[in-house]
């Protein structure tokens, strides 16, 4: 996961007017799905913001296999203490849109891998008493789910270098709770995804090891410098926001900081 500045999204001509009409229809008791075309209009624009990757898991996805996810569900909310028919008033609010793959977005079970997950109608809060049920501001709600549109949330997720499984990074209980719940609800521990993440991690760690050797060698013999720069460029690409699992790759690179290798920190700051 990485931070995504959704304010960069360019809207099609007249979209705000169409969204306002749809919102009015819903406020009069209409079904948000009757106007699904309104949020689907933004799908390609949302995909462009993150190089066609799912905003939650960073897996590259073809546009036909994905969806505009409503961060706050537009339909029933299963985590609500009372019956909740959905944040229907946010169904056409662009700040509520995320771009997600089927595994993160839809509830499903992976029998072979022994995992289950997918957001579906889930939206737990840290303090359920702050839950908003009817038209109004949700500013006081504190979501448990990590949000790629919140500046610091993505930094609470990392992965294990030995198998690519996602893990919580924070030290505080609340941070860990949020990360662990997000791993389960977004199905980030889905076995095929872990395998892809692990493949990326193995390549990254191999490049880091090579770069460290070349950096040390270049200190006494400048002839190694070009090869070091090539390895560093590969590492930089792996942690670039356009690359798959770039958040987790940044986390793994952060674990390789070393006083003898200041370039690691320099790459992280690039
Ligand atoms: Zn995903």
> Which one has a higher pLDDT value, 64 or 90?
90
Confidence of residue 63 (pLDDT cuts 50, 70, 90): confident
CA of 71 to the centre of ligand 1 (A): 13
Q: Which of 5, 150, 11, 12 is nearest to 71 (CA)?
A: 150
Angstrom distance (rounded) from CA 86 to CA 72: 8
Distance from Cα 11 to the centre of ligand 1, integer Å: 24
Ligand 1: centre distance to CA 34 (Å): 26
Task: Tell me the CA–centroid distance for residue 224 and ligand 1, in Å.
Answer: 40
Give the distance (Å) from ligand 1 centre to CA of residue 25: 31
- Cα 198 to middle of ligand 1, angstroms: 16
- 51 Cα: distance to centroid of ligand 1 (angstroms): 13
Q: How far is the CA of 149 from the centre of ligand 1 (A)?
A: 15
What 3-state class would DSSP assign to 36? helix
Q: Tell me how far the alpha carbon of residue 39 lies from the centroid of ligand 1, in angstroms.
A: 19
What's the pTM? 0.94
Q: How far is the CA of 137 from the centre of ligand 1 (A)?
A: 28
Residue pair 91/32 in contact by the 8 Å Cβ criterion: yes
What is the C-alpha to C-alpha distance for residues 92 and 162, in angstroms, rounded to an integer?
42
| Spatial CA neighbour of 8 closest among 95, 130, 126 | 95
Ligand 1 centroid–CA 56 distance in Å is: 5
Q: In a 10 Å sphere around its CB, with 0-12 CB exposed, 13-18 middle and 19+ buried, how is residue 19 labelled?
A: buried
Exposure class string for 66-89: b at 16+ Cβ within 10 A, else e: bbbbbbbbbbebebbeeebebbbb
Q: What is the distance in A from the centroid of ligand 1 to the CA of 228?
A: 34
Task: Say how many Å lie between the CA of residue 105 and the centre of ligand 1.
Answer: 7
Please tell me whether residue 44 adopts helix, strand or coil conformation: helix
Å from CA of 150 to ligand 1 middle: 17
> How many A from CA of 55 to the centre of ligand 1?
7
| Distance of CA 215 from the midpoint of ligand 1 (Å) | 36
pLDDT tens for residues 209-254? 999 999 999 999 999 999 999 999 999 999 999 999 999 999 999 9
User: By percentage, how much of the chain surpasses pLDDT 90?
Assistant: 91
pLDDT score, position 121: 94
Asked if residue 96 has pLDDT above 80, the reply is yes
Helices 246-254, 262-269: crossing angle, 10 deg rounding: 150
* Per-residue model confidence (pLDDT) at position 196: 96
pLDDT tens, position by position, 122-139? 999 999 999 999 988 999
pLDDT at 91 over 90: yes
What mean pLDDT is predicted for residues 86-108?
94
């Amino acid at each position: 996961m990485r931070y995504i500045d959704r304010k960069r999204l360019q809207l099609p001509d007249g979209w705000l007017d169409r969204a306002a009409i749809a919102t009015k229809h819903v406020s009069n008791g209409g079904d948000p799905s009757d106007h699904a075309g309104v949020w689907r209009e933004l799908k390609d624009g949302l995909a462009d913001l993150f190089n066609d990757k799912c905003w939650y898991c960073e897996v590259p996805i073809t546009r036909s296999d994905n969806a505009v996810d409503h961060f706050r569900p537009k339909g029933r909310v299963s985590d609500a203490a009372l019956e909740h028919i959905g944040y229907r008033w946010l169904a056409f609010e662009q700040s509520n849109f995320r771009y997600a793959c089927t595994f993160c977005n839809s509830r499903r079970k992976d029998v072979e891998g022994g995992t289950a997950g997918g957001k579906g109608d889930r939206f737990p809060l840290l303090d359920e008493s702050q839950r908003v049920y009817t038209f109004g501001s949700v500013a006081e709600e504190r979501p448990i789910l990590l949000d790629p549109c919140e500046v610091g949330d993505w930094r609470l997720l990392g992965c294990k270098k030995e198998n690519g499984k996602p893990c919580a990074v924070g030290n505080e209980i609340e941070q860990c709770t949020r990360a662990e719940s997000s791993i389960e609800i977004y199905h980030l521990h889905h076995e095929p995804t872990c395998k892809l993440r692990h493949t990326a991690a193995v390549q990254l760690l191999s490049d880091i090891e090579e770069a460290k050797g070349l950096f040390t060698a270049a200190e006494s013999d400048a002839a190694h410098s070009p090869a070091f720069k090539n390895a560093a460029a590969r590492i930089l690409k792996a942690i670039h926001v356009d690359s798959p699992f770039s958040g987790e790759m940044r986390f793994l690179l952060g674990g390789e900081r070393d006083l003898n290798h200041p370039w690691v920190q320099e790459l992280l700051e690039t």
